[in-house]
Structure 1
Amino acid sequence: MPLVREHLWAVAPPDAGLRPDRPVPFARVAAHPLVMPTAGHALRSLIDAAAARAEVKLDVAVQTNSMRVQKRLVPAGHGWTILPDVGIAEDVAGGTLSAAPLSEPDVWRSIVLGMPRTGRTPPAVEVVARELTRQVRTAVHEGSWPAAQLHAQGAATEGE
């Protein structure tokens, strides 16, 4: 069940001057060395597909599947990265990173809740799923996850 979708963001050192109100073309991001997840990681697959659509080659300087490590390597001068806003909002607000939504093409990720389609779902699983869904919707409605958009239940999004 799709829950939310959100833009992926270009993330750079503070002196790069990226701003949330000024989307950054993918080609500009690709002009920098990049700190990226390894091939096969869901974010990397989205990023690689966007690079193909933008017809740019990525210069991957470092690969790590740890968002925390990615966020440390960027201000240390190892390159830029691409991450969801929810993972960098505090860093941008604190001035340790600068960031802007990707554009040309826009890059979105979806967060879904997987539930068994057959058989009986245990009541405890149903309770956790309802609470998780409620928490996600509350975070979006209250603005604590500002870059996320709620999915219409069961709707699929093109390009994801």
Structure 2
Amino acid sequence: MKLIKWLCFGCLAIVLLFCNKQYQLENSKTSKEDVILDTMSAIRRDNLNDFNKILLSRQEHNEYFWPNIGEKFHADKGINADIAYDMMLAETNMRLNVLLSFYKGKVFEIKNIQCSRPVENYGPFSLYLGCNFDVILLNGEVLKERTLNGVICLNKQCKLYHLKD
């Protein structure tokens, strides 16, 4: 009887070990607000290295997020993780160039950060879409910024998912 209990316990431990994936998002921030603030700071400083650390990496997307979301997120059936990441990265880079040309070197403050769409949950991940905020320039002008389309969070690990026009 003891042998059967130990075998059952061992099988349960193995199942839990392989089913309980531990995701580690490198260089993550503790909130979606911190992601947005740090993204805009990297853009202001024209620091692409810092920007790329905030952005969800290809590995994180393909190995962690995609298995939980897959084709559910895309209208195009048959799309794979690499193609989805390439599409997201292309849109992000196009918008990043616009943001850099406008905000690089400017002094500004960020206020009223909100993600207007309902949170979408995919496995252990929460995706915040429609993120927008006010950019207050040094001269007092207030701009409504709506291009940080998505922030992805896993508990207190958050990263930029997407910039979009």
State the TM-score bracket (shorter-chain normalisation): under 0.3
Comparing both structures, which one devotes a greater share of its residues to helix?
2
The structure whose RCO (Cα within 8 Å, separation 6+) is larger is: 1
Greater Rg, structure 1 or structure 2?
2
TM-score (norm 1): 0.26
